[in-house]
Every structure is written in C-alpha cells, then in structure tokens.
C-alpha cells in the first residue's frame, strides 16, 4: 500500500510524451514503450514529486466529480504497477 | 503488401564498427564497415530527424563502440532536439569523463553498459582488452552518481554461463535499474565462433532457471530482461518482434536493414539511407517487404496457431542453418529440422572456449581472414 504522504514522480530516464504519429500518449523508459490511457495521462502529469498522493487523489476526484475512494484505488493500482517496473518513484 | 506498414518504434543506429573490444560473440557482421565508409555527422542528423517524423520513439546509439565517433555528443544533442529517447549502448571503454559530461549535457536519456564477466580476468579475456572491467565499473559509477538510468547487459556463453545469476547481482551492485541477460544468439561473429561459445544443454537450463529465480527477489529493484538460449529452446523467439514491424537498423555506411544479420540472406535488395529517405526505405524497400506480414510463410508456420506470436522465428537462422530464409526457424519443435539444433549444440559445446576468433578488422589481402577461422 502506497502511503498518503508519498510524493510520486517520474524518475530520470522516464518520459511521458504525446505520440502524435499514432495519436496517443506513451511513457518512454529504457527499452520500454507503455501506452497510457487518457486518465492515466492526467494522473502522471501530477506526479512531479511536489504533490503528495493524497493531494493528487483529492485533486482528481474534485476535477472529475468522482468518488475519492474509487479514484484512490485506480491511482494506487497504476502507481504500484509502474513502481514495480521502476517507471515511477514513490 | 501494398498498403503502407505501421511506422517503426525503434531505430538502432550502428554509428561505427570501430571498437576497442574484441568480443567473440559480437552481433556485427564478420565483414565490418571501415571508418572511411562511415556516414557523416550531417547524414546521421538527417536520418534522426526523419526517424522522429516517422514515429520512431527510441533511438539506440550503438556500434561497434559509439564512443569511437568524435561527433557523438553532437548527434545525441540533435536526437534529443527532435524528440527521440536516446539510449547509448556502450562498452564503456573509450568513454572519457569529458565525453560523459557532454553526453549528459546534450540530454542523453539512458546508458546501457556491457559487461563480459563478473571479475576482471574473465571479463578482460573475453573482451580482449586489459583494464576493460575496471573502466566499466568507473562508467557505472559516473552514471548512477549522475542519476542517469543504467542498464547492464551481459551476453552468456560457455565461458561465463555458470556466472549468469551473479551477473544479475553485479548489475544490482553497480546500481543498474535494468539488467539484460542474453544468451548468445548465433549470428555474425558469434556464428563464426559457435564451437567456442555454446554451453551444454544442462548449463543453459541451469543458468536460465537461476536467473529467473532472481526475478521475485529483485522485484522493484532491477528489471530483468532475459533472452533465452535458442539452441535449447522449444519455440523460436519472435525475432525483432516481427520483420519490418517495429524496428530498423542503419549500418555505419548507411545501409538500412530489418535486423543486424539480414545481409546473410541472399537475394534481398537493401536500400541506403544515403540516397533515400528513411520512410521511403521502410515503406518500399524490397528487403523490408520480403518477410512482412504472413504471406511468405510455408508449412508448418502457415497453419500454426503461434504464427502471429513469434512470426515463424528468425529468418536469418532459417537461412544460416537450413539454407532457406522462408523456412520455419529450426529452434521451433514444430520444424522437421528441429533435431539439428540439439545436434549442433551438443557437438559445439564439447571443445575448449579458448581459440575463438576475436572480433577484429581483417587485414586487407591477408588471406581472406583464414587465420581467424578457429
């Protein structure tokens, strides 16, 4: 379980960018291209190391008028799977 | 194939074939491009711009040893400017502190460092370069101290197969975020030196299992990419993730290839990036279209449920071992010639490691390199 006060960020060498040729967003890491869906893009844009996980979840819940509990589940699942691949630092 | 293929995601730029090391398993062709035939800075820059426009995401700067190019930091700077994710694939030998700093300043994204063994005597014997191992440790330290992601990659053969799991440990000790443990793929120099490099089936299987056992232990610490030993496999690798589907190679002299070994297939017409745009070559060159899609397949591939999974394996291996580039890769148990793999492996794993041909430029007119054939 990721702590509420964790400040997730993309480590150096991991880049979130738009892939205009294929009309999608991708996360680029060493030898990896991960397709990122529009919701995940919004989450990852907030992972700059300055915001806590609690702030990221609250901000997204308010912006998308969604239940904070559900948003929290999605955000934690995404970040945990990327951390396993060393594509996010917590 | 008449419609335009999807664009490539990766470009392997073999900037030069010059290299201070002499690893006997090098995937470069035995006939190496000479320095005088290498493309200019401006030609490479144009290719990188075209690649980015086409949709290439990852640029792998390789060789030979890419640090042998005096314009390397200028090339990296340009690649970063056009939006490519830049990966330097280096032996570390020839990388000075000054060049390292310039590469970082240019925006290099990732450094992949090869290791030849877990200690200096073993590593320097295989690489043919005294002091190589300690130089690599120094480069690893620069990289991690800078915060740049580091991959350590090790090619596994009979001379180091017992140490495969310790290579993973060494990568972790060096601070790598990713480690690539690749059993030798027998093309180029490795094919030539196969009788000195092939492990026994038992060695391959034990090494493979021991590395796999490290995965759970290092989860979240290091990402392990594992390339299986072809000659002891049941199914073939999805070579290049399919011919002309994801990546392309450009040789030092500008030849655009579907893979680094493709030139061994007779009758293929390769085009050059010197006089054509990269997208023209990708979309229209006969060599790229030769094995695109599934129409070229024969039995048993054509009716195989795995055909869109491994694409019949490797065309170059089918060529090298069966003399038919359209045949099912004999690494596959469904190939009627699969028994050959086991027979060759058994034969080639029985002699000494010593006596291999070090990867070097062959002397002009020096007897066709006969002296180098072990």
- E strands within B241-301? 247-250, 256-257
Q: How many CB pairs under 8 A join A and B?
A: 54
Contact A30 B177 (CB under 8 A): yes
User: Using alpha carbons only, what angle is made at residue B164 by residues B161 and B167, rounded to the nearest 5 degrees?
Assistant: 135
pTM reported for the whole predicted model: 0.94
Could you say which DSSP state residue B140 is in?
H
Question: Which residues in chain B land under pLDDT 50?
Answer: 1, 365-374
Upstream peptide bond of B64 is cis (omega within 30 degrees of 0): yes
Output the average pLDDT for chain A: 95
Q: How far apart are CA A79 and CA A77, in angstroms?
A: 6
Contact B112 A30 (CB under 8 A): yes
Burial (Cβ within 10 Å: 0-12, 13-18, ≥19) of residue B201: middle
Q: Which of B54, B87, B219 sits opposite A30 (nearest CB)?
A: B87
The interface residues of chain A toward chain B in range 3-32, judged by CB-CB distance below 8 A, are 11-15, 17, 19, 21-22, 26, 28-31
Res B2: pLDDT: 55
Contact A21 B222 (CB under 8 A): no
ipTM score above 0.85:
yes
Q: pLDDT per residue over B151-160, tens digit each?
A: 999 999 999 9
Q: pLDDT per residue over B109-166, tens digit each?
A: 999 999 999 999 999 999 999 999 999 999 999 999 999 999 999 999 999 999 999 9
Residues of B in contact with A84 (CB under 8 A): 219-220
Tokens of B16: 């030069």
Res B364: pLDDT: 54
Q: How many other β-carbons are positioned within 10 Å of the β-carbon of residue B1?
A: 13
SS3 B87: strand
User: Using alpha carbons only, what angle is made at residue B292 by residues B312 and B3, rounded to the nearest 5 degrees?
Assistant: 150
Helix (H) or strand (E) holding A33: strand A32-36
Q: pLDDT per residue over B261-278, tens digit each?
A: 999 999 999 999 999 999
Beta-carbon contacts of residue B143 (< 8 Å; ≥ 6 apart): B100, B111, B113, B150, B175
Tokens of B288: 């790229």
Question: Which residues in chain A land under pLDDT 50?
Answer: none
Report chain A's terminal Cα–Cα distance, integer Å.
11
Closest by Cα among B51, B49, B41, B114 to B73: B41
């Amino acid at each position: 379980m990721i702590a509420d006060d964790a400040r997730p960020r993309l480590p150096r060498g991991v880049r979130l960018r738009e892939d205009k040729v294929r009309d999608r967003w991708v996360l680029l890491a060493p030898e990896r291209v991960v397709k990122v869906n529009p919701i995940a893009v919004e989450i990852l844009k907030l992972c700059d190391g300055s915001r806590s996980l609690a702030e990221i979840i609250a901000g997204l819940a308010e912006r998308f008028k969604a239940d904070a509990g559900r948003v929290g589940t999605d955000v934690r699942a995404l970040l945990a799977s990327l951390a396993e691949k060393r594509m996010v630092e917590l | 194939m008449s419609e335009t293929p999807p664009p490539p995601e990766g470009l392997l730029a073999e900037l030069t074939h010059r290299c201070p090391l002499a690893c006997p398993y090098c995937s470069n062709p035995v006939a190496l491009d000479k320095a005088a035939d290498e493309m200019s800075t401006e030609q490479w820059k144009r290719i990188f711009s075209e690649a980015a426009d086409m949709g290439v995401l990852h640029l792998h700067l390789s060789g030979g040893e890419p640090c042998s190019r005096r314009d390397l930091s200028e090339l990296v700077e340009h690649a970063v400017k056009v939006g490519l994710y830049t990966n330097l694939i280096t032996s570390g030998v020839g990388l000075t502190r000054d060049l390292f700093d310039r590469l970082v300043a240019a925006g290099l994204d990732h450094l992949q460092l090869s290791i030849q063994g877990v200690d200096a005597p073993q590593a320097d014997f295989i690489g043919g370069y005294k002091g190589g191992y300690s130089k690599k440790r120094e480069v690893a330290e620069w990289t991690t101290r800078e915060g740049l992601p580091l991959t350590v990659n090790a090619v596994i053969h009979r001379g180091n197969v017992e140490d495969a799991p310790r290579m993973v440990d060494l990568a972790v000790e060096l601070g790598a975020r990713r480690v690539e443990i690749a059993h030798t793929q027998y093309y180029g120099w490795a094919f030539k030196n196969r009788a000195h490099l092939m492990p026994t089936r038992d060695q391959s299987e034990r090494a493979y299992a021991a590395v796999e056992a490290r995965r759970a232990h290092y989860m979240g610490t290091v990402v392990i990419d594992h390339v299986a030993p072809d000659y002891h496999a049941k199914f073939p690798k999805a070579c290049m993730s399919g011919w002309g589907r994801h990546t392309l190679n450009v040789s030092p002299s500008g030849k655009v290839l579907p893979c680094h070994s493709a030139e061994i297939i007779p009758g293929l017409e390769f085009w050059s990036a010197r006089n054509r745009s990269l997208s023209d070559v990708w979309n229209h060159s006969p060599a790229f279209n030769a094995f695109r899609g599934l129409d070229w397949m024969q039995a048993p591939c054509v009716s195989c449920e795995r055909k869109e999974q491994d694409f019949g394996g490797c065309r170059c291996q089918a060529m090298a071992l069966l003399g038919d580039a359209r045949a099912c890769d004999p690494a596959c148990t469904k190939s009627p010639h699969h028994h050959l793999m086991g027979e060759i492996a058994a034969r080639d794993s029985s002699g000494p490691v010593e006596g291999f041909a070090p990867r070097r430029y062959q002397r002009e007119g020096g007897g066709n390199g006969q002296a180098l054939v072990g």
